[in-house]
Amino acid sequence: METLFQEQIISIPRIGDYAPEFKAVTTQGPINFPSDYKGKWVILFSHPADFTPVCTSEFITFASLENKFAKANCKLIGLSIDGLYSHIAWLRTIKEKIKFKGLKNVEVKFPLIEDITMEIAKKYGMIQPGESKTQAVRAVFFIDPKGIVRALIYYPLSLGRNFDEIYRALIAMQTADKFAVATPADWNPGDDVIISPAGSCGVAEERMTTKNGLTCEDWFFCTKKLDKDTVLSELIKN
């Protein structure tokens, strides 16, 4: 029983932690993470295995969006526990043979990490024995320009990721940082943003009486408009 319990213990970096460091061989050459990406947002994501259909659909989608993420100062890095030559052969097959949702001849240019020893996957809690002891789950880590984990999403092997949501989450976090606000449910650029709750009775009363451009449903729930063009001009580089 004790051995079984120990096997179920999974270390996962928490929000606010510094991203675990590693050096790796990738399809784009060696990387030293996160120091090579200082000043950039990074989406580090794992997939179960090369030459599998759900993973193939995801890599085609991510590769087609790479430039969109780059304009938001974000780099993409993939990982699975397959070897480098398997990665190269799989990515070549994707480009030469696979079509998905009208996308074809898609070249994956972002790094795909070789992790045969599972060392990196284990550092990031990507191996979850209840799902698989030999494949990484579909983990997504959002890591900010200071190398800090800002968000993480985990999906089971059978569930392909929603890339609109991954991009939305990235832009929402960048907006929160840039404008010192929070973003409500289903927020997208152009929607109203949330102002932090008042820290004193005086501030709460002032908000409810003077407004100052705020819309307050109650003292703790105030929003304000944040123009879509203002957000995108600050965050997206052409």
Task: Say if residue 207 is in the same domain as residue 134.
Answer: no
8 A C-beta contact, residue 55 and residue 164: no
pLDDT digits (tens, 9 = 90+) for 179-191: 999 999 999 999 9
14 is in an annotated binding site: no
pLDDT at 1: 43
Task: Say if residue 85 is in the same domain as residue 202.
Answer: no
Per the domain annotation, does 173 fall within a domain?
no
Task: Say if residue 197 is in the same domain as residue 147.
Answer: no
Task: Say if residue 197 is in the same domain as residue 101.
Answer: no
pLDDT interval class at 200 (50, 70, 90): low
CATH number for the domain including 214?
A: 3.30.1020.10
CATH number for the domain including 20?
A: 3.40.30.10
Question: Domain limits at 222?
Answer: 180-235
| Residue 2: pLDDT over 50 | no
| Residue 3: pLDDT over 70 | no
Task: Say if residue 192 is in the same domain as residue 148.
Answer: no
Per the domain annotation, does 58 fall within a domain?
yes
| Long-range Cβ contact pairs of 100-106 (< 8 A, separation 24 or more) | 100/56, 100/57, 100/60, 100/61, 101/60, 101/61, 103/60, 103/61, 103/64, 106/60, 106/63, 106/64
Number of domains in the chain: 2
CA atoms 52, 56, 62, 66: torsion sign:
positive
**Which residues are catalytically annotated?**
55
53-71 helix and 84-97 helix, angle to the nearest 10 degrees:
80
Task: Say if residue 157 is in the same domain as residue 201.
Answer: no
Per the domain annotation, does 52 fall within a domain?
yes
Per the domain annotation, does 151 fall within a domain?
yes
pLDDT digits (tens, 9 = 90+) for 101-140: 999 999 999 999 999 999 999 999 998 888 888 788 999 9
pLDDT at 230: 95
pLDDT interval class at 220 (50, 70, 90): confident
pLDDT interval class at 193 (50, 70, 90): very high
